[in-house]
């Protein structure tokens, strides 16, 4: 077979874009054409995955250096040249495979999940558009092109969170996601300004090649750039302080949560740090901030996950927490470990979300059949579902063991590598001991809250309701099928990067070396003795086992009562359940004061009273008053005029004589 | 032939057609006006290809008018005015088409005034004689006054008079400044001429007078832009004006202010414009415009007022870009001028369409209507996204260039201006949500008709531009780059020369 030219890489993003155009047109013109929509929506994704796989194989066989393809001059303005260019290298190769691969599975799942929805065509149009922007994000060869994808995925996230837009809570959540992300995008934008100002280019190749010479290591400029970039990451990848939108984003349909808010979009920040490894390697403060915020977020979000009842919210906080791990990885300079966890997380978290989707689907149908209005996502209404959804139950347990870090599942290897790298770094930079400890603590909580989720959902007595129970059953194979594939990836995904410690070849690490090499040379990873590594591994597994065993021992699913009968939370549990009141805090400190200032001060006082009332209308009043005085002078009485004339003459004479 | 006469034809044709509309039967008025404006657009289209980016001022026609006073009829375009002319000829047919159902009384008067207005607007952008410029400036003021005052909303008279007096006040000062400038330059050179080329090449030796003259020009233009604190006529005028009036007002008339700075106030008095105190004031007012305009927009209950205040914010970017005097910032400023015309024009059309259906512009009169009018909702979403500068729409290109360019001259200002991207999302997205999303809880909205074919015809060209400029702005950037370079050079050179002769 003749080799396919790699310049056809544009086909990969173009396919979902085509899908969007067709499905978008169908959504407006023929919303009922579900068959055509499914074929286009899923077909373009499967083809895109095939094209991406072909391109990656071809690339792996023939090239090691990044390939940049310029398609047209996008923004040329004097020395600023931003071509619309895509870049295929080892890092973007991994990303496009995850995006199109996991994306295709989730598209297949959606065919079943969204089947009865009136907005079916619109849903697939948005989903296709999302994949297009995500591919632009990871394939863009410059900051501005990446920014197109960066804001584009934010847009799709907004549209899909608020997909059922006639409910205010959904529309609010979408809006919140967009605005919070815009705060992050502001950081991205400022970073671009700074980079262009110093380097004179925004192309990745040029910026990274010139960075070591252009920026003083650990200087203020490079630190500012990395911090602004990371502000962008905290928005997109839901880290402290901008994570608050992600849990609310669960208002979107569950496949959206799986694809956008777990597997792909939210990992864009991790990708950005890995992509800009050279810059972060030059700034110790920048990289420490990344790792520190990541570690803190990992633990913080995990504490909230302990007390959530909505099955998707538990997974949402779990995602925030796992993203924190990835940032610990890339912040430590262990880019391969960060990307590895990104990949395995994409598998097991997509599986968990789709599994929860399958649960919600069953619950929803049961409640629908009996016209009940109970919450289909509240775990207090579930229980004992293993009997009704055996496949989902089994597969979700696999994912739970993976995320908890139990060998040999995928999550064990990737999480272990991150914690190992953090511990090793701590031998040089002691701050990392704290990050490592936070990460280990988060691992304990992760194992605990995931076991809690499984116990409450699938074990113990069923609390759905006597009549509803009969309607609970496994979803069709179009939905369970993707789960099985993801389950296989969750079991075997670890082989991507089995470290030498276990006799593996660290495939992913070696594959990514051409991309991460420069950064690693600037800021080399620290090695620790094998004995220490083994101790760390054993310790981490023990912590995971402790978390699971603790949950099994402490939690009593049989004591739960259905949500509507449940007593309100109290004590410390209430604080966790209320998410440490962070939303309330932001609302009181930022949102309401800004709105109040704008409405009551800037608009009603400054604009209406002062500028318009006092200055503008005031001028009119004064003018009219002057005119009135002038008109009074014109009395028609000759005597007055004569007096005025004489006075005038005298004044002129006096003035002239002086 | 075409090269020499096209600009004159662009000025004259709407006047002739306007007279024709007045004479024809009422029921033909809108169709005649539409055809006339399409012809006008057709006349202008070859400019796009025949324009030579490196060619400086082109399509010149220079004829003596009142020779004793040194007044000429001089018209021509360069890269700065080209797109203002094209934007005008592009928006007018859409405005006519968009008014088909909106204007139901005195149609002949309305459409002929709209055409006269077109002549005035083209005239402003192509005049290269300061007297002619002044005449055109006033010519466009009068039809707009009537359009707001006769076909406007409830408080139309207040708004129209405010608009008129405010603008007229500025332009009278400008007239005085023009006369003084011609006189002083005449005294020094022996040539009394209103010609732009003459004045701009002999601007030295004004001494402190330059401050006063610049002040008069700047005030006239700042009112038009409008810059804080001269902006309060705008929300009133927009709210009261009929749709076409708002579209033209935002799309074209505001650009006359920034165009005035680019063409006259800055190149004629560069030393003043670059004086540190003046720089600080302008940058500060522009930033206030961006932040304050955005925040006030956020709390407006009236959709049209929201867009009006958002214009204050957008035009703040233009002013920043002009003053930063870097190639990216000036090109960016020109792009924002073009983009704002397209996106804000489209927003006003959309709000007008809502008004035609519900006779309300209040955001809270709607809610959840995406379900009944999906096409309208899709268009409103796209246009809103372009207005908040989403990459791959036109809005991003301009703001990005402005920020890149401004950062080199005023880094702190660029940082503050960049918060405008957050604020923009804060005022437009909640409004979008309250109009098309949320529960469909008002019975009056349940039967709204979706876009008609005529309305689609109005919106499609605008959306095409939004996406085209967002993805492939290069043809425009290429055409405005030499003129922007020229502008920066003239200003820097003249500022130096001015300093030397003072």
Q: Does A71 touch chain B (CB under 8 A)?
A: no
How distant is the Cα of B166 from the closest Cα of chain A, in angstroms? 9
Residue A342 above 90 pLDDT? yes
Residue of A nearest to B409 (CA): A197
* Chain B CB within 8 Å of residue A20 CB: no
Place of tokens 């005025």: A644
A133: closest CA of chain B, how far (Å): 11
Note whether B440 contacts A172, CB cutoff 8 Å: no
- Say if the Cβ atoms of A151 and B390 lie within 8 Å: yes
Which residues in chain B are contacts of A195 at CB distance < 8 A? none
| Partner B contacted by A77 (CB < 8 A) | yes
CB contact under 8 A, B296 and A72: no
- Which of B296, B430, B485 is facing A607, going by the closest CB pair? B296
Residue B454 has pLDDT above 80, yes or no: yes
Contacts of A597 in chain B (CB under 8 A): 295
Contacts of B417 in chain A (CB under 8 A): none
The predicted model gives B281-292 an average pLDDT of 95
Please answer yes or no on whether A78 and B328 come within 8 Å at the CB atom.
Answer: yes
Q: A72: number of CA atoms within 13 Å, CB side?
A: 9
Across the interface, whether the CB atoms of B385 and A155 are under 8 A apart is answered yes
Which chain A residues are closer than 8 Å to B425 by Cβ? 178-179, 182
Q: Return d(Cα A363, Cα A254) in angstroms, integer.
A: 13
Question: In this complex, which of B298, B401, B418 lies closest to A190 when CB atoms are compared?
Answer: B418
- Average pLDDT score over residue span B96-101: 92
pLDDT band at A613 (very low <50, low <70, confident <90, very high): confident
Query: Residue B494's CB: how many other CB atoms inside 10 A?
Result: 22
Contact between B189 and B205 under an 8 Å Cβ cutoff? The reply is no
- Helices A530-554 and A431-458: crossing angle, nearest 10°? 40
Q: What is the DSSP string of A190-239?
A: HHHHHHHHHHS--BHHHHHHHHHHHS-TT-HHHHHHHHHHHHHHHHHTT-
- Judged by CB atoms closer than 8 Å, whether chains meet at B401 and A162 is answered as no
Which residues from B are below 8 Å from A192, CB to CB? 404
Partner-chain contact A179 B426, CB within 8 Å: yes
Chain B closest-CA separation from residue A607 CA (Å): 8
Tell me the C-alpha distance between A199 and B478, whole Å: 23
Among all residues of chain A, which has the CA nearest to that of B401?
A: A77
Cβ-based neighbours of B168, under 8 Å, separated by 6 or more:
B138, B141
Report the residue of chain A nearest B440, measured CA to CA.
A166
Q: Chain B contact for A589, CB < 8 A?
A: no
* Inter-chain CB proximity A165 and B438 less than 8 Å: yes
Question: What is A479-501 written as a DSSP string?
Answer: HHHHHHHHHHHHHHGGGGG--GG
**Per-residue model confidence (pLDDT) at position A581:** 87
Mean pLDDT, chain B, rounded, equals 92
Nearest to B94 by CA among B454, B405, B366: B454
Kindly identify which residue of chain B lies nearest to residue A619, measuring between CA atoms.
Answer: B166
For position B173, what pLDDT does the model report?
93
Is the pLDDT at A5 greater than 80? The verdict is no
- A613 in contact with chain B, both atoms CB, cutoff 8 A: no
Find which of A162, A171, A610 to mutate to test the B interface (most B CBs within 10 Å of its CB): A171
Q: How many Cα atoms sit within 13 Å of B75 on the Cβ side?
A: 26
The whole-number pLDDT of residue A3 equals 59
Residue A525 touches partner B, C-beta closer than 8 Å: no
A196 part of contact set with chain B, CB < 8 Å:
yes
Q: What is the mean pLDDT of residues A493-497?
A: 86
∠ Cα A241 A320 A174 (to 5°): 75
For residue A53, the model assigns a pLDDT of 93
Cβ A366 vs Cβ A462: under 8 Å = no
Closest CB from A166, A196, A598 relative to B298: A598
Give the residue on A whose Cα is nearest the Cα of B415. Answer: A190
Contact across the interface for B415 and A190, Cβ inside 8 Å: yes
* Paired residues of B77 in beta bridges: B58
Which of A84, A166, A174 has the CB atom closest to B371's CB atom?
A: A166
Do A75 and B229 lie within an 8 Å CB cutoff? Answer: no
Give the closest of B300, B390, B439 to A166, CB-based. B439
**pLDDT classification of B500: cutoffs 50, 70, 90:** low
Phi, psi values for residue B493, rounded to 5°: -65, -50
Residue B191: pLDDT over 50: yes
Give the three-state DSSP class for B72: strand
| pLDDT recorded at residue A463 | 87
ipTM: 0.93
The average pLDDT across A6-21 equals 91
CB contact under 8 A, A77 and B332: yes
For B295, the closest of A158, A162, A602 (CB atoms) is A602
pLDDT at A631: 84
Contact present, A227 and A239 (Cβ < 8 Å):
no
Q: Which of B391, B422, B469 to mutate to test the interface with A (most CBs of A within 10 A)?
A: B391
Size of interface A-B (CB pairs under 8 A): 140
pLDDT tens digits for range B251-276: 999 999 999 999 999 999 988 999 89
- The dihedral of CA A280, A285, A286, A287: what is its sign? positive
Give mean pLDDT, residues B414-428. 94
- Mean pLDDT over residues B174-197, rounded? 92
Closest by Cβ to B438, choosing from A171, A192, A616 = A171
Render pLDDT for A625-658 as a digit per residue (tens, 0 to 9).
Answer: 998 888 887 777 888 888 888 998 999 989 888 7
How do beta strands B71-77 and A67-77 pair?
unpaired
**Residue given tokens 């007008």 in the structure block:** B352
pLDDT digits (tens, 9 = 90+) for A577-606: 888 888 899 989 998 999 999 999 898 888
Contact between B474 and A76 using a beta-carbon 8 Å cutoff: yes
Contacts of B296 in chain A (CB under 8 A): 598, 602-603, 607
pLDDT band at B501; cut points 50, 70, 90: low
Is A178 within 8 Å of chain B by CB? yes
Mean pLDDT of B99-110: 89
Alpha carbons within 13 A on the beta-carbon side of A3: 11
Residue A1 is predicted with a pLDDT of 42
Express each pLDDT in A432-482 by its tens digit. 999 999 999 999 999 999 999 999 999 989 888 888 888 888 888 888 899
Which pLDDT band holds residue B449 (cuts at 50, 70, 90)?
very high
Q: Report DSSP letters for A9-36, one per residue.
A: GGHHHHHHHHHHHHHHHHHHH-TT-HHH
**SS in 3 state form for A271-322?**
HHHHHCHHHHHHCHHHHHHHHHHHHHHHHHHHHHHCCCCEHHHHHHHHHHHH
CA distances, B499 to each of A46, A48, B217 (Å): 68, 63, 20
Backbone φ/ψ region at A432: left (φ over 0), alpha (ψ -120 to 50), beta: alpha
Q: Is the pLDDT of residue B91 over 80?
A: yes
* Contact list, A168 vs chain B (CB under 8 Å): 437-439
Closest-CA distance of chain A to residue B86, Å: 21
Give the chain A residue whose CA is nearest to the CA of B403. A193
- Judged by CB atoms closer than 8 Å, whether chains meet at B408 and A77 is answered as no
CA distance B492 to B498: 10
A190: nearest CA in chain B?
B415
The stretches of B205-361 forming alpha helices (DSSP H) are 209-224, 233-240, 243-248, 254-260, 266-268, 270-273, 276-298, 303-324, 327-358
């Amino acid at each position: 077979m003749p080799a396919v030219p790699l310049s056809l890489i544009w086909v990969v993003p173009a396919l979902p874009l085509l899908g969007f155009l067709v499905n978008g047109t169908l959504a407006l013109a023929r919303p009922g054409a579900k068959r055509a929509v499914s074929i286009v929506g899923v077909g373009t994704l499967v083809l895109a995955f095939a094209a991406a796989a072909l391109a990656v194989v071809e690339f792996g066989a023939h090239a090691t250096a990044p390939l940049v393809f310029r398609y047209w001059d996008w923004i040329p303005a004097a020395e600023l040249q931003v071509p619309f260019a895509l870049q295929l290298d080892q890092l973007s190769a991994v990303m496009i495979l995850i995006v199109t691969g996991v994306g295709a599975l989730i598209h297949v799942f959606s065919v079943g999940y969204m089947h009865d929805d009136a907005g079916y065509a619109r849903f697939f149009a948005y989903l296709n558009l999302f994949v297009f922007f995500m591919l632009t994000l990871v394939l863009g060869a410059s900051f501005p092109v990446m920014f197109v994808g960066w804001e584009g995925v934010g847009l799709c996230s907004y549209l899909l969170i608020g997909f059922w837009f006639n409910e205010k809570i959904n529309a609010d959540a979408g809006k919140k996601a967009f605005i919070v992300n815009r705060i992050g995008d502001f950081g991205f934008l400022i970073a671009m300004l700074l980079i262009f100002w110093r380097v004179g280019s925004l192309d990745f190749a040029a910026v990274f090649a010139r960075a070591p010479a252009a920026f003083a290591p650990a200087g203020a400029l490079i630190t500012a750039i990395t911090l602004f970039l990371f502000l962008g990451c905290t928005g997109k990848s839901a880290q402290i302080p901008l994570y608050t939108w992600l849990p609310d984003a669960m208002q979107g349909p569950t496949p959206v949560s799986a694809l956008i808010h777990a597997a792909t979009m939210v990992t864009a920040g991790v990708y950005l740090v890995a992509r800009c490894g050279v810059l972060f390697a030059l700034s110790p403060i920048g990289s420490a901030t990344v790792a520190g915020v990541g570690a803190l977020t990992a633990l913080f979000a995990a504490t909230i996950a302990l007390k959530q009842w909505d099955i998707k919210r538990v997974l949402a906080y779990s995602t925030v927490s796992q993203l924190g791990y990835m940032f610990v990885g890339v912040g430590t300079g262990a880019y391969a470990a960060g990307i590895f966890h990104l990949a395995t997380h994409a598998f097991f978290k997509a599986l968990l979300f789709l599994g929860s989707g399958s649960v919600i689907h069953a619950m929803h149908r049961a409640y629908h059949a009996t016209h009940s209005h109970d919450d289909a996502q509240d775990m207090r209404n579930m229980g004992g579902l293993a009997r009704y959804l055996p496949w989902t139950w089994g597969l979700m347990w696999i994912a739970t063991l993976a995320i908890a870090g139990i060998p040999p599942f995928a999550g064990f290897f990737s999480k272990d590598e991150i914690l190992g790298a953090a511990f090793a770094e701590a031998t040089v930079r002691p701050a990392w001991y704290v990050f490592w400890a936070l990460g280990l603590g988060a691992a304990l909580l992760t194992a605990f809250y995931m076991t809690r989720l499984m116990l409450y959902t699938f074990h113990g007595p069923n609390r759905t309701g006597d009549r509803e129970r009969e309607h609970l059953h496994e979803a069709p194979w179009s939905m369970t099928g993707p789960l099985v594939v993801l389950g296989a990836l969750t079991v075997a995904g670890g082989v991507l990067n089995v470290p030498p410690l276990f006799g593996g070849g660290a495939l992913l690490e070696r594959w990514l070396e051409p991309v991460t090499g420069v950064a690693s040379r600037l800021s080399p990873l620290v090695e620790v003795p094998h004995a220490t590594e083994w101790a760390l591994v054993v310790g981490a597994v023990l912590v995971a086992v402790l978390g699971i065993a603790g949950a099994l021992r402490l939690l009593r699913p049989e004591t739960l009562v259905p949500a509507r009968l449940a007593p309100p939370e109290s004590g410390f549990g209430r604080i966790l359940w209320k998410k440490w009141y962070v939303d309330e805090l932001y609302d009181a400190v930022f949102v309401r004061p800004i709105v109040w200032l704008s409405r009551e001060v800037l608009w009603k006082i400054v604009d209406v009273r002062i500028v318009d009332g006092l200055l503008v209308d005031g001028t009119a009043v004064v003018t009219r008053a002057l005119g009135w005085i002038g008109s009074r002078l014109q009395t028609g009485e000759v005597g007055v005029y004569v007096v005025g004339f004489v006075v005038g003459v005298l004044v002129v004479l006096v003035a002239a004589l002086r | 032939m075409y090269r020499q006469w096209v600009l004159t034809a662009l000025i004259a044709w709407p006047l002739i057609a306007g007279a024709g509309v007045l004479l024809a039967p009422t029921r033909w008025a809108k169709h005649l006006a539409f055809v006339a404006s399409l012809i006008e657009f057709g006349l202008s289209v070859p400019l796009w290809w025949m324009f030579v980016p490196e060619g400086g001022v082109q399509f010149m026609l220079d004829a003596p008018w009142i020779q004793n006073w040194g007044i000429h009829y001089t018209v021509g375009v360069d890269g700065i005015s080209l797109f203002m002319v094209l934007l005008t000829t592009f928006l007018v047919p859409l405005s006519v088409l968009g008014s088909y159902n909106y204007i139901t009384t005195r149609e002949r008067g309305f459409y002929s005034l709209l055409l006269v207005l077109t002549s005035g607007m083209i005239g402003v952008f192509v005049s290269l004689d300061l007297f002619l410029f002044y005449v055109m400036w006033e010519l466009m003021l009068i039809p707009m006054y009537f359009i707001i005052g006769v076909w406007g909303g409830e408080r139309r008279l207040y708004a129209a008079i405010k608009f008129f007096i405010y603008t007229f006040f500025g332009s009278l000062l400008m007239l005085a400044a023009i006369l003084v400038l011609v006189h002083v330059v005449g005294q020094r050179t022996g040539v009394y001429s209103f010609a732009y080329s003459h004045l701009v090449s002999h601007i030295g030796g004004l001494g402190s007078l330059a401050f006063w003259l610049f002040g008069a020009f700047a005030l006239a233009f700042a009112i038009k832009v409008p810059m804080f604190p001269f902006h309060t006529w705008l929300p009133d005028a927009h709210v009261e004006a009929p749709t076409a009036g708002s579209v033209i007002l935002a799309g074209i008339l505001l650009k006359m202010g920034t165009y005035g700075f680019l063409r006259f106030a800055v190149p004629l008095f560069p030393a003043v414009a670059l004086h540190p105190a003046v720089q600080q004031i302008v940058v500060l007012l522009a930033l206030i415009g961006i932040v304050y305009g955005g925040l006030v927009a956020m709390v407006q209950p009236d959709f049209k007022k929201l867009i009006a205040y958002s214009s204050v914010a957008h035009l703040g970017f233009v002013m920043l870009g002009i003053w930063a005097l870097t190639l990216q910032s000036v090109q960016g400023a020109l792009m924002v001028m073009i983009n704002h015309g397209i996106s804000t024009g489209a927003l006003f059309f959309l709000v007008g369409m809502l008004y035609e259906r519900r006779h309300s512009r209040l955001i809270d009169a709607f809610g959840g209507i995406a379900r009944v009018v999906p096409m309208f909702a899709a268009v409103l979403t796209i246009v809103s996204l372009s207005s908040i500068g989403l990459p791959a729409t036109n809005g991003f290109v301009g703001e990005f260039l402005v920020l890149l360019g401004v950062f080199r001259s005023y880094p702190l200002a660029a940082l503050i201006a960049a918060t405008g991207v957050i604020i923009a999302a804060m005022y437009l997205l909640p409004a979008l949500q309250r109009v098309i999303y949320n529960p469909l809880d008002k019975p009056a909205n349940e039967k709204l008709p979706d876009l008609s074919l005529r309305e689609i015809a109005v919106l499609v060209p605008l959306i095409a531009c939004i996406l085209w400029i967002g993805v492939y702005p290069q043809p425009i950037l290429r055409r405005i780059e030499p003129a922007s370079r020229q502008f920066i050079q003239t200003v820097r050179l003249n500022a130096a020369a001015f300093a030397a002769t003072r």
